[in-house]
């Protein structure tokens, strides 16, 4: 061995001796012929020469022994990053001189170019270590981590509180060597801080809600994943893998935000298919009516504007995976509404007034992002006298009538409510729109509007076809809150039984479930959610021309001018019978009203 080589080797050994747990020897960075990895020299026994040399080295510290080419890299881009990401420099370029796969591993300055060190692979072989020149699928480097960045991004810790185990560059830049120590593989992947339970990630990333989230604390085993079941994660549980359950620091398939899978929903369904997580969400969303992300080519972007975004649905439109937590849900309907909690914590939304907010307070605010002012909102399947698809407008508390989602409605005519509901109660969107097999519906599945066998994503059956035979199943959705006995006993409308049972007219012919916007209807003609289905109910000829109108004339009384089932009604009246809510009074009323039908 030459004197020069002895000096180089001695310097490495001295470092190894001084810091017994920090040694490149026998690590994957030991490229000598005695190295343990598949990439190594054929004959060369020196270890440090592949990166360092005391003489004839590059004009860079620390005694750099490799060429740093002027390679242009494609860098990481994201719609939500506040950092200015530049081309790699300094220590990062040193790492990339091997890890971009463009330079022969044996080309070192201390050897003649004609006599490179012969290695088992000429350049870095394809695999996780070969980053190539496209760094858009890797954690960004080459940006300054300073107070300006942490001030701009609330989810980035202030630089002064970041662990000193993660060194920045001379000007506060993030380099490869911020996370990786090339001389120490004690923690695996040459990490400076363990990635178990996301320790290295949360050293810099301060994610709202993470510490108490299900993903940070779940002890579920990850061995049953269905989307990437052949890829080995470093640890056995969701908790221990933390961020790496969904993200890859290098070579992520979905470049923006470094997601593990190309299709956004697969990052969730990978576990939420009944094999790792408790519930099979994958099966729910693929039901007849569901929020199935795979049906839309467009994906969610945290920076998207609800009012102009392309139509899409992804898990992260409704869930924040960094903050999601468990929420035991029973079968009791909401009596005061429900604040956002559990699975929907820290999700953006749109308020009842149309204002965008970062953290929704009520569940309906999450729904309004897509079902409110969005130009991509779903269209009506029922033709209405008054057409409206903006649920934010339909639920306005100042409307002539509405289901009490965004505010209570004190309508004394609604006498059919089942306890604990009462006049003045509020309900939630998920009281009606929920998975049919959910715990909320009395089943064993996950609660929430993932998917249902009942259109449009209803927790129970709701028939809207004309001439439907009345039964508890036909209008099961309505009967979850409204007593069937009360409805068919004509307690809130003296002709309910006649219409629903005898004439087989479904609820939807007269009632519009969400509400009637005050800018389109009024309390006289559109109380009690009256908004006729014009495919069944049409105009009637009157002395004043064709008319289609309901008129509220007081407490459980009113009249209709319309044609239904071929029968014309001209100011056809109904009123609360003198006998109150007795069956006898209801029967007498039915008999009287039949005489008033004009044919």
Assign 451 to helix, strand or coil: strand
Q: Which residues pair with 254 in a beta bridge?
A: 259
Give the tokens for residue 287: 């039901």
Q: Which of 450, 444, 486, 480 is nearest to 462 (CA)?
A: 480
Instruction: Please tell me the distance from the alpha carbon of residue 310 to that of residue 297, in angstroms, as a whole number.
Output: 10
pTM of the model: 0.87
Q: What is the pLDDT of residues 430-444, one digit of tens each?
A: 999 999 999 889 899
Residue 583 pLDDT level (bands cut at 50, 70, 90) = very low
> Does the structure show a pLDDT above 80 at 330?
no
pLDDT at 377: 87
Q: In the block, which residue shows the tokens 């005694």?
A: 63
Q: Which residues pair with 74 in a beta bridge?
A: 134
Instruction: Please tell me the distance from the alpha carbon of residue 447 to that of residue 431, in angstroms, as a whole number.
Output: 10
Q: What is the pLDDT of residues 539-579, one digit of tens each?
A: 999 999 999 999 999 988 999 999 999 999 999 998 765 43
Angle at 531 between CA 530 and CA 534, to 5 degrees: 135
pLDDT at 512: 96
Instruction: Please report, for the chain, the start and end positions of each structural domain, with discontinuous segments joined by +.
Output: 1-192, 207-278
The number of CA neighbours under 13 Å toward the Cβ of 4 is 9
Give the tokens for residue 125: 């072989």
- H, E, C per residue of 168-222: CCCCCECCHHHHECCCCCCCCCCECCCCHHHCCCCCCECCCCCCCCHHHHCCCEC
CA distances from 597 to 259, 503, 519, 534, 594 (A): 65, 14, 33, 20, 6
The chain-wide mean pLDDT, for the chain, equals: 88
Instruction: Please tell me the distance from the alpha carbon of residue 190 to that of residue 183, in angstroms, as a whole number.
Output: 7
Q: What is the pLDDT of residues 91-105, one digit of tens each?
A: 999 999 999 999 999
Q: Looking at residues 488-517, what average pLDDT do you find?
A: 95
Q: What is the pLDDT of residues 47-58, one digit of tens each?
A: 999 999 887 666
pLDDT at 592: 33
> Does the structure show a pLDDT above 90 at 230?
no
Q: What is the pLDDT of residues 105-114, one digit of tens each?
A: 999 988 888 8
CB 58 within 8 A of CB 68: yes
Q: Which residues pair with 574 in a beta bridge?
A: 558
Q: What is the CA radius of gyration of the chain?
A: 34
Percent of the chain at pLDDT > 90 equals 75
CA quadruple 478, 482, 487, 493: dihedral sign:
negative
Q: Which of 258, 260, 267 is nearest to 139 (CA)?
A: 258
> Does the structure show a pLDDT above 90 at 520?
yes
CA 187 to chain centre: 32
Provide CB contacts within 8 A for 204, sequence distance 6+.
145, 156, 157, 162, 166
50-59, 175-184, 264-273, 329-338: which has the minimum mean pLDDT? 329-338
Residue 400's CB: how many other CB atoms inside 10 A? 22
pLDDT at 20: 37
CB 465 within 8 A of CB 439: no
CB 442 within 8 A of CB 331: yes
Peptide bond into 569 cis (omega under 30): no
Q: What is the pLDDT of residues 176-211, one digit of tens each?
A: 999 999 999 999 999 999 999 999 999 999 999 999
pLDDT at 238: 96
Instruction: Please tell me the distance from the alpha carbon of residue 480 to that of residue 428, in angstroms, as a whole number.
Output: 13
Q: What is the pLDDT of residues 237-253, one digit of tens each?
A: 999 999 999 999 999 99
> Does the structure show a pLDDT above 80 at 5?
no
CA 154 to chain centre: 20
CA 133 to chain centre: 31
pLDDT at 574: 85
Residue 156 pLDDT level (bands cut at 50, 70, 90) = very high
> Does the structure show a pLDDT above 70 at 16?
no
pLDDT at 586: 33
Note the maximum CA span of the chain: 119
Q: What is the pLDDT of residues 101-155, one digit of tens each?
A: 999 999 998 888 889 999 999 999 998 899 999 999 999 999 999 999 999 999 9
pLDDT at 594: 35
- H, E, C per residue of 247-273: ECCCCCCECHHHECCCCCCHHHHCCCE
Instruction: Please tell me the distance from the alpha carbon of residue 183 to that of residue 25, in angstroms, as a whole number.
Output: 8
Instruction: Please tell me the distance from the alpha carbon of residue 377 to that of residue 388, in angstroms, as a whole number.
Output: 11
> Does the structure show a pLDDT above 50 at 337?
yes
Give the tokens for residue 380: 């009506």
pLDDT at 23: 85
- Helices marked H in 355-454 — which ranges? 363-371, 391-394
pLDDT at 113: 85
Peptide bond into 456 cis (omega under 30): yes
CB 110 within 8 A of CB 52: no
Percent of the chain at pLDDT > 70 equals 89
């Amino acid at each position: 061995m030459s004197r020069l080589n002895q000096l180089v080797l001695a310097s490495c050994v001295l470092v190894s001796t001084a810091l017994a747990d920090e040694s490149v020897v026998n690590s994957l960075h030991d490229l000598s012929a005695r190295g343990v990895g598949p990439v190594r020299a054929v004959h060369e026994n020196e270890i440090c020469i592949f990166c360092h040399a005391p003489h004839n080295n590059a004009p860079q510290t620390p005694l750099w022994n490799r060429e740093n080419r002027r390679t242009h890299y494609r860098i990481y881009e994201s719609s939500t990053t506040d950092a200015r990401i530049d081309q790699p420099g300094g220590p990062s370029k040193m790492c990339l001189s091997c890890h971009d796969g463009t330079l022969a591993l044996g080309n070192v300055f201390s050897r003649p170019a004609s006599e490179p060190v012969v290695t088992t692979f000429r350049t870095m072989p394809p695999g996780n270590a070969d980053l190539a020149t496209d760094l858009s699928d890797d954690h960004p480097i080459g940006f300054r981590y300073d107070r300006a960045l942490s001030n701009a991004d609330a989810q980035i810790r202030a630089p002064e509180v970041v662990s000193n185990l993660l060194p920045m560059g001379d000007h506060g830049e993030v380099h490869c060597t911020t996370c990786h120590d090339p001389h120490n593989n004690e923690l695996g992947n040459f990490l400076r801080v363990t990635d178990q339970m996301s320790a290295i990630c949360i050293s810099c990333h301060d994610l709202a809600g993470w510490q108490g989230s299900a993903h940070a604390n779940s002890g579920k085993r990850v061995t049953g994943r269905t989307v990437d079941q052949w890829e080995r994660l470093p640890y056995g549980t969701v908790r221990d893998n933390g961020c790496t359950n969904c993200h890859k620091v290098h070579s992520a398939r979905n470049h923006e935000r470094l997601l593990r899978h190309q299709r956004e929903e697969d990052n969730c369904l990978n576990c939420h298919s009944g094999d790792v997580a408790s519930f099979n969400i994958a099966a729910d969303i693929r039901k007849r009516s569901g929020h199935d992300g795979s049906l839309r080519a467009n994906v969610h972007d945290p920076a998207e504007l609800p009012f102009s975004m392309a139509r899409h649905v992804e898990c992260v439109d409704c869930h924040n995976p960094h903050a999601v937590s468990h929420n035991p849900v029973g079968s009791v309907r909401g009596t005061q509404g429900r604040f956002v909690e559990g699975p929907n914590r820290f999700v953006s939304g749109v308020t009842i007034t149309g204002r965008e907010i970062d953290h929704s307070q009520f569940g309906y605010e999450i729904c309004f992002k897509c079902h409110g002012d969005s130009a991509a909102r779903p269209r009506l399947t029922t033709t209405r006298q008054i057409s409206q698809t903006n649920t934010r407008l339909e639920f306005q508390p100042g409307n002539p009538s509405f289901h009490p989602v965004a505010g209570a409605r004190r309508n004394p005519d609604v006498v059919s409510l089942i306890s604990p509901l009462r006049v003045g109660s509020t309900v939630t969107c998920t009281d009606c729109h929920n998975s049919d097999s959910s715990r909320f519906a009395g089943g064993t599945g996950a609660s929430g509007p993932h998917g249902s066998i009942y259109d449009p994503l209803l927790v129970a059956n709701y028939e809207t076809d004309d001439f439907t035979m009345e039964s508890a199943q036909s209008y099961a959705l309505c009967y979850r809150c409204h007593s069937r006995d009360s409805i068919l006993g004509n307690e809130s409308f003296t002709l309910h039984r006649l219409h629903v049972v005898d004439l087989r007219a479904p609820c939807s012919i007269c009632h519009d479930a969400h509400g009637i916007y005050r800018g389109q209807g009024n309390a006289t003609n559109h109380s009690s959610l009256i908004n006729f289905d014009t495919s069944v109910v049409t105009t009637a000829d009157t002395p004043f021309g064709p008319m289609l109108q309901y008129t509220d004339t007081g407490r459980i009384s009113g009249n209709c001018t319309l044609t239904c089932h071929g029968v014309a009604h001209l100011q056809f009246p109904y009123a609360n019978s003198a006998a109150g809510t007795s069956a006898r009074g209801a029967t007498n009323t039915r008999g009287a009203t039949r005489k008033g039908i004009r044919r």
